[in-house]
């Protein structure tokens, strides 16, 4: 079970990251909880300088850009393997 | 009947303004500017600038770096707010954070280009220069006022700012060529405006078309209005089809390039080329005029295509197009609506009102400009057509600059976000200083326009800043000695 956090106040890029992530979760048949973090104090707990940020199991994997679906797939599968 | 014709007049005013903006200004300056903004967001590694914003960076590096970050990294609030919070909480502290916040809206590529082309390069330059001086000034002042709080806010390790990204040379060249493309389309120097070739195309009746366009969109050059040309109509058509192709091609670019993507790119290039050529409708047909501008744009486009193919990775290319498209989609519709509404409102405002309030460079006029900026909230870039309207209605350039400086910095929305991050006392102190400095900037620039020597003004400015710094230092010393005394007293009484 993965815990995924999307850091972002609701800008277009944040929505894009969320859409890509959800798509891959359903494509891969993973069980994951997707949490949207929208207030700045909570976001600033992670070392980001611009949104959107993507956090997988409390680890920041990407910030300030929209990752490609291939990248997201790699991060999610790596996290799954680490959790085993 | 009276009401109906009145409404019709308003609608016509709005449409005329919109048509004139789309045909004349927006294209040549904003289209490349959007792509530059996208390239800056996607291709410049943020760490290449933010590593100068860490906690241990000396002041003379961190303040200029904050200003640089404001102009190259921060085109939208996605970057402004997190970076502001980061610099304040984990990085260089309150001062540079404020400098960043102040400089970003005034100095990013979109705002500068748009101001320069729509109103005048002098005002764009004044906006840039005075924002830089006052941004650093306000940052230093706030850092001084709130020095003790700044020292004891949370001491996290600054891993946020520890990265070491580097801007690769080909990427830098790519950015510079994009800027060259922008300049080739907008600069008015003889090398670019001179005509080098002419081609006559057959096609009768276009003269009548132009005449009927002038009837449809009547304009009064004395009021600063612009009409619509045949070329303008064709450009609006091209823009619309470009918008459609971009929607189909860029919206889902993360799933890969499709045919629409290439169509949109070719269309964008063609639109720029067509806009750079001169089209004169005559009785015999169409006269195409190729000036230096056209060849400059063509050359820049060819170099860009080569650099993009040769040096950019597919991921970079994709990020660049996506960010550019995102800016266009986010800002352009609001801008179009704003320009339309400005055209409508313009019909309702009597020039005498503006004339009497801010027609000359007075303290009251500048204050009026600032107050209007604080209490009105307009989306990004819409402040520019509004400023142009005021200019056409007789506002002095001084108060106009005061308005342009205050409006993007101070809206209720941004004040609330800032207050949430740095606290209410600091936020309102910031607002007060911005209001003061914007008024001052308007006064200074206004008297420069009125003919006062720049050196005299610089002397005044330096004098004012010196007095300010001295009094702040004095207050600071006073506070410090009082705290020391209080600590001593605490030490003596058990």
Q: Give the pLDDT confidence of B158-209 residue by residue, as tens digits.
A: 555 666 667 788 888 998 999 888 888 877 777 777 777 777 777 666 677 7
In angstroms, what separates the C-alpha of B100 from chain A's closest C-alpha? 13
Domain that holds residue B75: 47-166+349-452
Q: What would the CATH number be for the domain defined by A2-83? A: 3.40.30.10
* pLDDT average, residue stretch B15-31: 73
Together in a domain, B196 and B293: yes
Query: Would the pLDDT of B301 be above 90?
Result: yes
Highest mean pLDDT among A66-75, B1-10, B221-230: A66-75
Together in a domain, B391 and B329: no
* pLDDT average, residue stretch B278-300: 81
Together in a domain, B183 and B232: yes
Is residue B475 in some structural domain?
A: no
* pLDDT average, residue stretch B269-277: 87
* pLDDT average, residue stretch B224-245: 79
Query: Would the pLDDT of B456 be above 60?
Result: yes
In angstroms, what separates the C-alpha of A18 from chain B's closest C-alpha? 13
Together in a domain, B195 and B279: yes
Together in a domain, B175 and B57: no
In angstroms, what separates the C-alpha of A29 from chain B's closest C-alpha? 20
Reported as a pLDDT band with limits 50, 70 and 90, residue B494 is very low
Together in a domain, B327 and B185: yes
> Closest-CA residue in chain A for B314?
A68
Is residue B494 in some structural domain?
A: no
Residue where one domain finishes, among candidates B302, B325, B346: B346
In this structure, what DSSP letter does residue B73 have? T
For the record, the structure tokens of B452 come out as 């006062």
Together in a domain, B204 and B332: yes
Q: Interhelix angle for B454-492 vs B121-145, to 10°?
A: 20
Together in a domain, B400 and B420: yes
Separation between Cα atoms, residue B467 and residue B187, nearest integer Å: 40
Q: Which chain A positions have a beta carbon within 8 Å of B317's beta carbon?
A: none
Residue where one domain finishes, among candidates B291, B313, B346: B346
CB under 8 Å to B28, separation ≥6 — which residues?
B117, B185, B186, B272, B275, B276
Together in a domain, B174 and B276: yes
Together in a domain, B272 and B297: yes
Complex ipTM > 0.85: no
pLDDT tens readout for residues B137-153: 888 888 888 877 666 65
Q: How many domains does chain B have?
A: 2
Is residue B477 in some structural domain?
A: no
Binary contact (A52, B90; C-beta < 8 A): no
> pTM, whole model, 2 decimals?
0.82
Average pLDDT, chain B: 81
* pLDDT average, residue stretch B207-223: 69
Together in a domain, B331 and B199: yes
Together in a domain, B236 and B135: no
CB under 8 Å to B295, separation ≥6 — which residues?
B196
């Amino acid at each position: 079970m993965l815990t995924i956090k999307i850091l972002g106040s609701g800008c277009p890029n944040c929505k894009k990251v969320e859409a890509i992530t959800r798509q891959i979760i359903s494509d891969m048949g993973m069980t994951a909880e997707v949490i949207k973090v929208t207030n700045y104090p909570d976001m600033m707990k992670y070392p980001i300088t611009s949104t959107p940020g993507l956090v997988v199991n409390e680890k920041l994997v990407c910030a300030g850009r929209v990752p490609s679906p291939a990248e997201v797939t790699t991060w999610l599968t790596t996290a799954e393997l680490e959790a085993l | 009947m009276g009401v109906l014709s009145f409404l019709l007049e308003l609608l016509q005013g709005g449409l005329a303004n919109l048509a004139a903006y789309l045909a004349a200004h927006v294209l040549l300056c904003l289209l490349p500017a959007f792509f530059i903004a996208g390239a800056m967001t996607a291709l410049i590694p943020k760490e290449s600038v933010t590593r100068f914003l860490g906690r241990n960076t000396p002041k003379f590096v961190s303040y200029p770096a904050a200003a640089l970050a404001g102009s190259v990294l921060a085109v939208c609030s996605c970057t402004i707010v997190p970076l502001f919070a980061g610099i304040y909480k984990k990085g260089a502290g309150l001062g540079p954070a404020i400098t960043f916040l102040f400089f970003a809206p005034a100095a990013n590529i979109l705002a500068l280009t748009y101001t320069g082309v729509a109103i005048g390069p002098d005002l764009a330059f004044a906006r840039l220069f005075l924002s830089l001086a006052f941004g650093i000034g306000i940052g230093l002042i706030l850092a001084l006022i709130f020095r003790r709080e700044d020292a004891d806010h949370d001491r996290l390790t600054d891993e946020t700012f520890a990265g070491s990204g580097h801007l690769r040379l080909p990427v830098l060249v790519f950015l510079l060529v994009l800027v060259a493309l922008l300049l080739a389309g907008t600069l008015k120097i003889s090398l670019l405006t001179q005509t080098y070739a002419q081609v006559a195309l057959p096609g009768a009746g276009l003269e009548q078309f132009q005449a009927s366009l002038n009837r449809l969109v009547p304009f009064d050059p004395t009021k600063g209005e612009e009409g619509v040309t045949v070329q303008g109509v064709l450009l609006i058509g091209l823009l619309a089809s470009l918008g459609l192709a971009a929607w189909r091609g860029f919206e889902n670019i993360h799933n890969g390039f499709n045919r629409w993507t290439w169509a949109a790119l070719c269309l964008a290039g063609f639109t720029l080329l067509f806009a750079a050529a001169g089209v004169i409708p005559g009785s015999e047909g169409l006269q195409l005029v190729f000036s230096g501008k056209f060849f400059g744009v063509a050359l820049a486009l060819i170099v860009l295509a080569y650099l993009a193919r040769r040096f950019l990775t597919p991921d970079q290319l994709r990020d660049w197009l996506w960010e550019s498209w995102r800016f266009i989609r986010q800002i352009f519709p609001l801008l179009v609506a704003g320009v339309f509404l400005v055209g409508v409102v313009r019909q309702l405002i009597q020039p005498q009102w503006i004339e009497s309030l801010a027609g000359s460079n007075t303290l009251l006029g500048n204050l009026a400009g600032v107050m209007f900026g604080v209490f009105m909230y307009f989306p990004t870039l819409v402040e520019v057509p509004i400023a142009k309207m005021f200019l056409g209605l007789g506002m002095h350039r001084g108060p106009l600059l005061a308005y342009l400086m205050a409006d993007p910095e101070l809206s209720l929305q941004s004040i609330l976000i800032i207050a949430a991050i740095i606290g209410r006392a600091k936020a309102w102190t910031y607002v007060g200083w911005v209001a003061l400095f914007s008024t001052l900037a308007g006064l200074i620039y206004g008297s420069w326009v009125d003919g006062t020597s720049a050196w005299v003004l610089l002397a005044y400015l330096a004098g004012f800043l010196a007095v300010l710094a001295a009094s702040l230092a004095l207050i600071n010393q006073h506070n410090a000695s009082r705290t020391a005394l209080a600590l001593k007293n605490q030490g003596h009484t058990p």
